[in-house]
């Protein structure tokens, strides 16, 4: 049973819209090859703070990443740090704020666009900075990293859904179409990743209001999906709402590594192996 993991964080994709539009992933759920959960995001429901939540398992009150304007390296131990410490190889195709959190801040648009350095927390990275950078290009960046460097942990972060949501609102045709496009990209890549032995988690940082906002406390801003494709997890739809702080320790569980001391102890519903790291 493989311990390799791919995480896809589709920025700004709220639960109900993903539930309705991600047809291929819902197909896998229906035929008992994937699990679906609802995740309640941490506050504030903003991108940079929630990247830190997803990757370190710590809240803003602990990690200090409280706004999108907090430009500095994280002071927490991330999934990139942990995989590197355990002798695993990691990679990321992501928005440049991820690089600023874990490799260097501020981001240098020339030197930091491509990063191939095993001494850094993110060992192999391709980063973008325009919000309209095509999701299709980002997925190819990620697949290049996967084929070239064979990472045990690959983090993928497309921005198109968030952009359309902020421009047109979550009830718009444009927002739904962008989620459908992401679904099509995943329908092309997920079968390849599964064949290559990866466990796959697909989630989001935050949701989106009908007026194109997020950052507040409403369910449309905080409720996001989590699809898990793994032989370690029983397939099906689960009613228990998962706290977003549990995401990082769940990834650690699937990678077969111990979480950091700052992460909460959490056992995802449907986990077949009941071992819990402390």
pLDDT digits (tens, 9 = 90+) for 47-104: 999 999 999 999 999 999 999 999 999 999 999 999 999 999 999 999 999 999 999 9
Query: Is the pLDDT score of 278 beyond 70?
Result: no
Q: Can you give the pLDDT at residue 256? A: 96
Mean pLDDT of the chain: 97
- Three-state DSSP at 257 gives coil
Pull the structure tokens for residue 233.
């997890």
Residue with tokens 């325009």: 130
Query: Is the pLDDT score of 226 beyond 60?
Result: yes
> Could you tell me the pTM of the whole model?
0.97
5-255 has CATH 3.40.720.10 classification: yes
Phi, then psi, of 76 in degrees rounded to 5: -105, 165
- Of 8, 13, 48, nearest in space to 160 by CA: 13
Q: Is there a contact between 7 and 155 (Cβ–Cβ < 8 Å)?
A: yes
Alpha-helical runs (H) found in 211-255? 219-222, 247-255
Q: What is the 3-state secondary structure (H, E, C) of 92-157?
A: EEEEHHHHHHHCCCCCCCCCCCEEECCCCCCCEEEEECCCCCCHHHHHHHHHHHHHHHCCCEEEEC
Can you tell me the mean pLDDT for 142-158? 98
Pull the structure tokens for residue 158.
């497309």
- Three-state DSSP at 7 gives strand
Q: Which sign does the torsion angle of CA 20, 131, 141, 75 carry?
A: negative
Pull the structure tokens for residue 171.
């009830």
* Domain limits, the chain: 5-255
Q: 12-44: per-residue pLDDT in tens?
A: 999 999 999 999 999 999 999 999 999 999 999
Query: Is the pLDDT score of 277 beyond 80?
Result: no
């Amino acid at each position: 049973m493989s311990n390799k993991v791919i995480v896809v964080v589709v920025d700004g994709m709220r639960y109900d819209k993903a539930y309705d539009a991600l047809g291929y992933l819902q197909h896998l759920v229906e035929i008992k090859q994937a699990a679906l959960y609802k995740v309640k995001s941490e506050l504030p429901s903003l991108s940079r703070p929630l990247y830190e939540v997803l990757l370190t398992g710590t809240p803003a009150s602990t990690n200090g990443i409280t706004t999108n304007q907090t430009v500095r390296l994280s002071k927490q131990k991330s999934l990139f740090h942990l995989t590197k410490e355990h002798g695993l190889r990691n990679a990321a195709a992501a928005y440049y704020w991820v690089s600023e959190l874990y490799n260097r801040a501020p981001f240098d648009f020339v030197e930091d666009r491509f990063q191939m350095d095993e001494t850094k927390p993110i060992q192999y990275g391709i980063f973008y900075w325009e919000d309209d950078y095509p999701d299709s290009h980002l997925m190819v960046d990620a697949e290049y990293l996967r084929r070239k460097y064979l990472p045990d942990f690959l983090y993928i972060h497309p921005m198109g859904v968030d952009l359309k949501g902020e421009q047109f609102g979550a009830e718009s045709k444009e927002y739904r179409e962008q989620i459908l496009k992401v679904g099509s990209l995943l329908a092309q890549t997920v079968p390849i990743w599964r064949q290559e032995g990866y466990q796959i988690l697909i989630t989001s940082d935050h949701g989106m209001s009908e007026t194109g906002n997020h950052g507040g406390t409403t369910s449309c801003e905080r409720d996001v999906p989590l699809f898990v494709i793994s032989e370690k997890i029983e397939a099906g739809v689960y009613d228990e709402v998962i706290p977003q702080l549990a995401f990082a320790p769940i990834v650690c569980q699937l990678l077969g590594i111990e979480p950091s001391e700052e992460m909460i102890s959490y056992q995802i519903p449907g986990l077949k192996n009941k071992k819990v790291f402390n």
